[in-house]
Chain A
Amino acid sequence: MKIIKNITIGLSLLMSTQLVFSAQPGTTLASVNPEADRMALQQFFKKRFPDAELADYVNGIYAVDADSRTQWEDLESFPPYEFDVEEGERLFKTAFANGKGYADCFEKGGIGIRQNFPYWDKKAGTVKTLEQEINECRESNGEKPLKWGKGPIAQISAYMAWTSRDNVFDIKIPEGDEGALAAYLDGKKFFYTKRGQLNLSCANCHVQGSNVRIRADLASPSLGHTSHFPVFRSKWGELGTLHRRYKGCHKDSRSQPLGMQHETFRNLEYFQTYMSNGLVVNGPGSRK
C-alpha cells in the first residue's frame, strides 16, 4: 500500500514540475499575455481549493476557510462600514468652495463606475486609480488633496464602490498600447518578486501560501484581492484603502515599503484588478 502511494506522489511531482517548466511564464513585453495569466491563476486556485466557487473569491480568505467564515458572516450582518458609506455619500455630495462637486469630475456622475478602476491613462502615460482621481478632482477645483490611507478618501471611495456593487470588473489593457502592457507587467513582476529581509514575494503568501497560517493569520488567495476595497479592518478599527494594505504587506517581507499611490503600487493594482476581471465589485468590505 505504502509503495503504491509513494509512486503516485512521485508521479504527480514529476508531472507538475514538467508543467511548470514547459509553459510560458510571460516575463517580457513580447511574451506576456494577461488573459493567459488570468486563466492560469484561476486554474491554480481551482486545483488548490476545488470546493470554492469562482464568484466567491471576492470574499478573500472567507472563500476558502469555513471556520472564520461563520464569524465573518456574523460581522457582516451589522456591517462595520455602514457609517463610512453614509459619511462617504455626504462628503461626495458636498459641493466644493467653487460650487462644483465630485460628480462633475467622473463619468456618470461618479455612480456605478468602480469596476473601471484602475485604468490606463494613455495621455498621462500612467495607471490611474480611483483615489488618485478623487484627489485630482479636488485639486482641479481648488481644494487640498486628502491623505491616501484612511479617513475621508476611504469613505468617498467606499461610497463609490457601494454604488457599484455587483458590477463586473472590466479592466482593459488597450490592444497595441505598449505602455499599458508594460505597466501590467511591472505590477505582475512586483507581485511575484521575492524581497526584504524575509525574502518573500506577495505570491509566496497569497498564491503558494494561501490559506496557510502565518503567525496568527491565514493569507487569502490573491484572486479577487482588490474587489472589496476599501476595507473596514478590525485590527485597524477603521476603514482603510487598498494602498494602505499594500504598504503594510510590503513591510511584512521586512522591506522598506513604497509610498501609497507610488507608480509601482498603481501598476500592482492594475495587475491584481485585471486578475479579478469577471468578478464583481464587492466594496466596501470587512476583514479581521
Chain B
Amino acid sequence: MKKLIAIVATVVFLPAAAMAETFDDAFDMNRAMHGKGYTFTWSGKQYSTDHLEEVEARVAATKENAEDLIAKAKAKNAEVANVGFEWKLTKGILKDAEAAMVSGDYRKALDLAAQAKYHARIGLEQHAYAENNWHLSVPQ
C-alpha cells in the first residue's frame, strides 16, 4: 500500500514540479494580488505589474497623444478581428475614447484607448494559444 501511495504521489505531482513558473504566470499572479503599479521580482530581476498599454497611456494628456493611441488601438483591434478573436466590448470602448477626445478629456481618452488596445492584444494572444492548444478539451 505504502509503495502505491508513493507512486501515485510522484506521478501526480511531477507535472506541477517540472513546470517552473513562467514570467506570464508570475506577472498574472502579482497583478491579480497587487493591482497596477507594483514591483515584483522574477528570476532575480525587478518588473512592474503595469500592462504595456498602461505604460503607453502615461504620456502628456494632449490631443495628439490621444489621437495616436486611439489609432494604435483601432489598428490592433482590426488585427484581432481579422483572426476572429475580437472581444465584445472593445468597439464600444473605442467609441467612448473618441467621444472623450472630442470633448477635450484627453486623459480619459488615453486610458480608454489603452484599455481597448489591451483587449486586442490579449485577444491576439488567445488566438496564438488556441492554434496550438484547442485540442485540449476534445474528448478522446
Please name all residues of chain B whose beta carbon is closer than 8 Å to the beta carbon of A203 when the two chains form the complex: 137-138
Q: Are A255 and B137 in contact (CB under 8 A)?
A: no
Binary CB contact string for chain B from 1 to 18 against chain A (1 if under 8 A, 0 otherwise): 100110011011000000
Q: Are A14 and B12 in contact (CB under 8 A)?
A: yes
- Contact for A195 among B1, B90, B130, B136, CB less than 8 A: B130
Please name all residues of chain A whose beta carbon is closer than 8 Å to the beta carbon of B43 when the two chains form the complex: none
Please name all residues of chain A whose beta carbon is closer than 8 Å to the beta carbon of B107 when the two chains form the complex: none
Q: Are A7 and B134 in contact (CB under 8 A)?
A: no
Q: Are B126 and A199 in contact (CB under 8 A)?
A: yes
Q: Are B9 and A251 in contact (CB under 8 A)?
A: no
B130 vs chain A, min Cβ distance (A): 5
Chain B interface main SS type: helix
Task: Determine if B91 is an interface residue (Cβ-Cβ < 8 Å).
Answer: yes
Task: Determine if B84 is an interface residue (Cβ-Cβ < 8 Å).
Answer: yes
- Contact for A256 among B87, B136, B138, CB less than 8 A: B87
Please name all residues of chain A whose beta carbon is closer than 8 Å to the beta carbon of B135 when the two chains form the complex: 25-27, 192
- Interface hits, B81-140 → A, CB 8 Å: 81, 84-91, 119, 123, 126, 129-130, 134-140
Q: Are A193 and B130 in contact (CB under 8 A)?
A: yes
Please name all residues of chain A whose beta carbon is closer than 8 Å to the beta carbon of B4 when the two chains form the complex: 7
> With contacts defined as CB atoms under 8 Å apart, how many contacts are there between chain A and chain B in the complex?
85
| Of listed A27, A207, A208, A251, residue having the most chain B CB within 10 A | A27
Binary CB contact string for chain A from 252 to 280 against chain B (1 if under 8 A, 0 otherwise): 00111110000010000000000000000
Q: Are A255 and B139 in contact (CB under 8 A)?
A: no
Interface size on A, residues (CB 8 A): 40
Given A10-B12, A11-B8 in contact, is the A23-B88 Cβ separation under 8 Å? no
Q: Which candidate, A39-47, A56-64, A83-91, A110-118, is the interface stretch facing chain B?
A: A39-47
Please name all residues of chain A whose beta carbon is closer than 8 Å to the beta carbon of B119 when the two chains form the complex: 197
Q: What bracket does the count of chain B residues touching chain A fall in?
A: 20 to 34
- Interface hits, A186-210 → B, CB 8 Å: 188-189, 192-197, 199, 201, 203-204, 207-208
* Nearest neighbor of B90 in chain A, beta-carbon distance: A256
Q: Are B137 and A207 in contact (CB under 8 A)?
A: yes
Q: Are B134 and A193 in contact (CB under 8 A)?
A: yes
Please name all residues of chain B whose beta carbon is closer than 8 Å to the beta carbon of A196 when the two chains form the complex: 85, 87-88
Task: Determine if A13 is an interface residue (Cβ-Cβ < 8 Å).
Answer: yes
- Complex Cα–Cα for A192 and B138 (A): 7
Task: Determine if A234 is an interface residue (Cβ-Cβ < 8 Å).
Answer: no
23 A–B contacts, CB within 8 A, in A order:
A7-B5, A7-B8, A10-B5, A10-B8, A14-B12, A19-B140, A25-B135, A25-B136, A40-B140, A44-B139, A192-B134, A192-B137, A194-B129, A195-B84, A195-B126, A196-B85, A197-B87, A203-B137, A203-B138, A207-B139, A256-B86, A256-B88, A257-B88
B interface residue numbers (CB < 8 A to A): 1, 4-5, 8-9, 11-12, 81, 84-91, 119, 123, 126, 129-130, 134-140
